[in-house]
Structure 1
């Protein structure tokens, strides 16, 4: 007789993990442990990433997990902008070793990894959010970077892992993003393009930073409206809106000065360039086949594989946790409702 399967309730949940950001963070946080796997190779960053993801899976009970990786052999962004990410320190060889081994470890576990040609983990996260929206799933992006804030929506939240681990990290939805930055989620990418990103060596529009950009976007709605007003009205509506806001808030008027910065030579070109470089690709083939039982990335996983692969890291407590959270059906298969953990509201740094 055919085996009966429990019914699946909607919405199902996709966990999209920015693997390199977690590996980098755990390398620096755990290097003093000098943990080695059973083969004697460095494993502290690998173990830290695996441990954190297990804790996240334990909290959210996703139906599928996809890990995004950077293509370390080519970069379309560097081809466009050779100074992209210039100035970063050279990676510790022990970190490089663990970065190179991480995808194979996750694949062996039965999870799903995607390394898009010439692209980055953030492109995988952007596509995962788009895929979830189209499929009627929810999505949680797990990262230690701010880049994925641009993908926050009614269906997609971002768990930003910071100091204090999973339980002390903020889970950001549109409302909480507005509380932190004063902007609508759909305008975060424009905000970032105005502000720039020093970690990627992308200067912002001169004179427009983290305090001014939210006011500009809040009063004008979008940069498309800003540029249209400059083109057709010489910025008259922009100046009026900003000065009216300042009058209401009891602030010094900023309209004329901000208009001057926006119309300075190269300002619009800088914004448009940043927008192009920062925008994540949303059209990648993730290779997710959630209706095919046993497909990579679908939970639950095979207990023998979990015990062997996680056990190789040499931390029995982590192996026990993996067996508990990876080999049980996800929350959408049980009789109770899915309850996502409350976000921890913290001040971003």
Structure 2
């Protein structure tokens, strides 16, 4: 299993800023938030200044904010996204995508994937410089058959890095039977077919990072470091998530058990030697919990800690991923097609994976040595 580059997602005006204290590789914000804050405030290097990034070693990623726009009934279109990408200085820009819903039928899924491809092609033609530098990132969505091949044919000649989107609902088990397995199968299949870097959008949680390491995904982003803290929770490798703030327990495991206290104290002791955190601050402060959680995710992503948690379903997923990784692409696709209810796939003669994997005119960009991933 290789290393990961963990990208921390954050609202623009939010606190804390872990990258001021910890060795964070990258930060991700989204175009919806940029437009809400005001493009004039973040134009050029203004966004970096607003976030306090004065070190170019910390990468800045911008997501299109497609999910945020669409949940509000807004279609920003590629013109508005291109304007943001043209005017705001960042390292990587995620193409506008239209994520299929977890229960969409195959026809609806194919239509949204086609629209996502069309958006990438439009942005590619508008932002040629970003394409040549390998900084405009297309987005794959779960598919088999021609919809999958269309994505591969559309992206491979133009990009050496791609993202995988729309999988959070699957990890949250919202797509029916075999929900998480569908996501694991698609990630494993795509890893075998795509020769460039792969970034998992929104999947870099403590529980999912080990899974994506097994599969061989290169990087990913997450805001779980903030979300868990807001619910009064901290992440502890070997234990999972624990409520520590005294807030009412709304979901998940409750407070630390007696046999877990010593493990927790060891991590607090280590964290306190790196930044100002104590048991009392974790109990009383959202910012302390968020910073602690960000540090834990960095530890998990860098192999500095093992996340075992207490979830038997995730333990089974890890084992499934190890087994599936050994299968050839056609078997993986057949299994995924069965779960998606796709009755017929192209024959072996009409779907050469060797041809699909041929990559020409891939941009050479020396800064592509990044890596990551998240939980639902």
TM-score (norm 2): 0.30
Which protein has the larger Cα radius of gyration, Structure 1 or Structure 2? 1
TM norm structure 1: 0.32
